[in-house]
Amino acid sequence: IVLTPIEEGYTVYVPDFGIITQGSTLVEGMKMARDAIQLTGINLVNEKKRIPEAITLSKVVLAEGGYISSCRY
């Protein structure tokens, strides 16, 4: 995910799914992204669509002040 601080908190971009969300705090932004990823995954499975392959981090363009958080579970 790509996290960018904004005046009202953080914008969170999930490039693999084309998701953009935000939160008033970093934790809230990450929770919003987690929820959006889960819902997107459920919708893709229900629609019998493929879950996209992860993109290469070098292809992600960061806004000024933005940074990447990469987690594996």
The pLDDT, as a whole number, for residue 73 is 40
Sequential DSSP letters for 11-58:
EEEETTTTEEEEESSHHHHHHHHHHHHHHHHHHHHHTTPPPPPPPPGG
Task: Say what the pTM is.
Answer: 0.74
Per-residue pLDDT tens over the stretch 20-63: 999 999 999 999 999 999 999 999 999 999 988 877 767 666 76
